[in-house]
Chain A
């Protein structure tokens, strides 16, 4: 158990819908990262937050957005969902914003029908 929690574990929804994925980092960690793992794209970095501020952005679609709240939990919002958004979404956390080991949560498996 990495100490990072993600909810829900599984999500099934329809095209065009909007979902919110939630992540709670390890106690004391200030940085949260979101990654997407899909069969065709592999593991891709989406976005990083540090202590409430966006620090880095990767291949995140405009339909996707994220935020980190004062209690340091983070949410990833996915809207206007398409079939291709079906993937495993990971959240990871690390103590600061510098290069440190990132500890991954168990992931949220999203299936868009």
Chain B
């Protein structure tokens, strides 16, 4: 079974600094997608960034970027210029590209605190 591991239950970063959240996954599949979702105190699940496994180029979305290492099965999220609004739970998720169904497998999450 596919598993997603987030080894950092909690992280803290100062405002305007950079922080990296770790995620590793275990799969024998070669065609899949990876996601980072943010869950603020409102409990809404918000997509942060998405990476297709077949793409070598790392995805970026404004202040958010990933370091995707396919051979190492690693998918870390870098948040630059951290803002107070970035404080949330961050979930890494994996999805197999079956062509028919696309269920997400989530990690256990990393709680990010942003301090002044």
Q: Is the interface of A mostly helix, strand, loop or mixed?
A: strand
Contact A106 B106, CB 8 Å, known A56-B101, A97-B100, A101-B50: no
- Beyond contacts A56-B101, A99-B33: 18 other A-B pairs, Cβ-Cβ < 8 A, are A2-B44, A31-B102, A42-B109, A43-B106, A48-B102, A56-B100, A56-B102, A58-B103, A88-B43, A94-B102, A97-B101, A98-B99, A98-B102, A99-B32, A99-B95, A101-B47, A106-B44, A107-B44
Distance, CA A35 to CA B103, complexed state (A): 9
Chain B residues near A35 (CB-CB < 8 A):
104
Chain A: interface size category: 20 to 34
Chain A residues near B37 (CB-CB < 8 A):
104
The answer on a CB contact under 8 Å between B102 and A100 is yes
Distance, CA A92 to CA B45, complexed state (A): 9
Instruction: Kindly identify which residue among A33, A90, A100, A106 contacts B103, using a CB–CB cutoff of 8 Å.
Output: A33
Of all chain A residues, which has the CB nearest B52? A99
B91 is an interface residue with CB less than 8 A from chain A: yes
B83 is an interface residue with CB less than 8 A from chain A: no
Chain B residues near A102 (CB-CB < 8 A):
47, 102, 104
A64 is an interface residue with CB less than 8 A from chain B: no
Distance, CA A96 to CA B12, complexed state (A): 38
B108 is an interface residue with CB less than 8 A from chain A: yes
Contact A45 B104, CB 8 Å, known A101-B50, A104-B45, A107-B43: yes
